[in-house]
Amino acid sequence: MDAPARSTPTPVDRFFEFSLLGLLASGFLAVAGSGYLDSPTVAITAAALLVRMLVAAGWIVFEVPPALVTALTLAYIGFFPVDYYYISRAFIPTAVHLVFFVAVVKILTGRTNRDYLFLKVIALMELLAACLLSSRLNFFIFLLLFLVFGVATFAADEIRHARLRQGAVARVQVRGLSRRLAAVSVSVSLGILVITAGLFFFLPRTARAAFQHLVSHRYHLAGFSNHVSLGEIGQIKKEDTPVMHIKMDHPENRALALKWRGAALSEFNGHAWFNRASMGQILRPDPQGLVSLSSDDERRRSGRFISYAVYLNDLASDALFFAGAPEFLRIDATVVRRPFDNYSAQFPQMRSVWYQAYSRLEPPAEESPGKEPVAPLSEGLRAIYLQLPPLDSRIPALTERIVGSTADAGLQSRLIENYLRTQYGYTLELPSSEPADPLAFFLFHRRKGHCEYFASAMAVMLRVAGVPSRVVTGFQSGIYNPISKSILVRTSDAHSWVEAWLPGRGWTTFDPTPPDPNPPKVSLWTRLGFYLDAAGVLWDDWVLNYNLDRQLQLAARVGETSRSLTLNGVRFGGVSWTQWWSAIRGVFERSGMWLVSFAVAVLLLFSLGPGAWRLVNSRRRVRKLQSGRAEACDATVLYERLLSNLKRRGIEKPSWLTPIEFAHVLQEPELSLLVEDLTTAYNELRFGGRSEAAIRLLQLLERLEAMA
């Protein structure tokens, strides 16, 4: 049937339309929450949903002319190949744009049952697109909304169709209809979730591995490749996307101010730092996944040692991040490469990366090096780390003025570092236009910038002074999340610093960037973010990356709980039942009277509450009937009151008798006539819609209840 919507919508029609809009909105938000949907598509679709919601509420009248719909459709047919070849350049984003174009058109023009069917299909396609594009926790929230709105939409639509069938009589209690349908939708949705929750932990996810070849979930993070232009790291510092979570094996190491080293860049052309293409050293893990990253001589060097686990989000870069000098690595990878002291890994499939590391932290630059010998830098590497492009003549002059006549490489490095930290300012704002010589513009004109400019300036001046140097990109510290017990590192923590080669010491870290004058403060939103981040970690571990290993881990935990049955009873969190009982008894001894009072109050509420509510509700209905505001559904309530009164007299109505037949079979003549009159008034109100019959029905009920 392709019937248009009624001119005067009923409550069922309104509920159906709002549920359908909620279904479309939850699918749309699931795709938008993935971060893959562009701003124009988000704005246009949101505007269409808002307009249709206002139309459904009766606040505005809006209709799109058919000629305009035809023109827009023809225009989009021509736009589709342009989108595929020049804008999106991939099938999935182009298909998503097409789905949302059809959605917007149908949202604004849908009036018939066929249109509503198309909108249901579009909502399902939105959710399927979100399944492919989204790997975030918000997808689960929007999936729950989609489930609730889906149940509500199909329930309301079934009622609509039942009312339109030939010869069908569908009587609906109008009062509280939306509330009852919403309660049914939520209840059914919760039932579906409960049923599937058990299956979830028995069936590891395989769809992500099957579909990951269609679309990449990896987040492209500029600044951690073999080519970094000046300004790129300043751009990503303005974002706040989680990059990795680190869990320290020893709690005392959580407060260390660490730098998470990603890539060291050796050559500079005046505008960008880069490494020439190189396979580097290839390291293969042993059968247990352990990789040795340092030589025996390097492992004999003194320093502080830390061990930690890194949970790296899906990044477009294959870089691995370490604190200090890594010595051992345990990782599930086929190959680990080390070109220019940088580490990258290849994985059997694109997914979040997890690895464990054991590192040595180098002592501060001002401390004397240890007694262990350090092999000198080869002439070939020395030439690479002293390479310079043509420079502004003022840069060598400034370098000579800073370092003076000292020839000690360590002292030269500390002088340049201190000069940049104290004479220049920190800002994330980039120049309005790219200068011809970014470094000279920073040093002699703007005199402020972000870490990338400070690191580049120091590395160049060290090379002018004859000290081999390189720029390192990575992350600064991060923030400890007490909820997930891990260090959260975000894109806003991106940082650049310098490594200088000092005789007898080797590569030594220097950071010439001054502190941010407006550092972020720990606010209420930050604390709330801790909970959201912890939920995201749980989502990644037990949903996205749930596999056979996780199943075995879950089974092991269940086994440990089972084995914890001891002579003292079950142990919860390492505490025996007797200890729990002692603690509970202590609480009763201190607050026994309050607990008993509370228990009595709860018992009275559950035992007397339903009866009291029925009494209050009955009196409310009686007052409504007496005021002449009766509805057809009130007749059923009053007839049930009649049956309850007869039941107290020992008379029950058989289910196979109609109300009028039941009145005729009563043995007492007076009672039979009274019930017959009551039944007649009931039929007039219930099926005839005569509200005046409600008063007579009430009067007859009072006569019946007054009879001995």
Chain mean pLDDT for the chain = 79
Q: Which residue's structure tokens are 């973010």?
A: 529
Q: Is 130 left (phi over 0), alpha (psi -120 to 50) or beta?
A: alpha
What is the percent of the chain with per-residue pLDDT over 70, rounded to a whole number? Answer: 75
The H helix count followed by the E strand count for the chain is 22, 20
pLDDT of residue 400: 94
> Tens digit of pLDDT for each residue in 447-504?
998 888 999 999 999 999 999 999 999 898 888 888 888 999 988 888 999 999 998 8
The Cα 566–Cα 558 span in angstroms is 15
Which is more confidently placed, 6 or 275? 275
HSE-up of 98 (CA within 13 Å, CB side)? 17
Is residue 248 within 8 Å of residue 197, measured between CB atoms? no
The Cα 411–Cα 500 span in angstroms is 11
Q: Is 681 left (phi over 0), alpha (psi -120 to 50) or beta?
A: alpha
The Cα 571–Cα 562 span in angstroms is 9
Query: At residue 540, what are phi and psi to the nearest 5 degrees?
Result: -65, -45
Task: Please give the average per-residue pLDDT across 193-213, as a whole number.
Answer: 56
Among 351-360, 600-609, 612-621, the range of highest mean pLDDT: 351-360
Alpha-carbon torsion angle 412, 414, 416, 422, nearest 10: -150
Q: In 278-290, which positions are buried (b, 16+ CB within 10 angstroms) versus exposed (e)?
A: eebeebebeeeee
Element (H, E) at 295: none
The Cα 78–Cα 20 span in angstroms is 30
Which pLDDT band holds residue 414 (cuts at 50, 70, 90)? very high
518: amino acid identity, one letter: N
Is residue 320 within 8 Å of residue 345, measured between CB atoms? yes
Sheet holding 259-265, edge to edge: 322-323, 259-265, 469-476, 494-502, 506-510
Contacts of 341 (CB under 8 A, 6+ apart): 264, 507
DSSP character string of 310-363: EEE--BSS-B--EESEEEEEEE--SEEEESTT--EEE-SSSS-EEEEEEEEEPP
Task: Please give the average per-residue pLDDT across 257-272, as a whole number.
Answer: 90
Element (H, E) at 515: none
Is residue 310 within 8 Å of residue 357, measured between CB atoms? yes
Is residue 399 within 8 Å of residue 465, measured between CB atoms? yes
Is residue 489 within 8 Å of residue 471, measured between CB atoms? no
Sheet holding 272-274, edge to edge: 227-229, 272-274, 267-268
> Tens digit of pLDDT for each residue in 295-308?
777 777 777 899 99
The Cα 660–Cα 161 span in angstroms is 31
Which pLDDT band holds residue 595 (cuts at 50, 70, 90)? low
* Residue 566 confidence (pLDDT) above 60: no
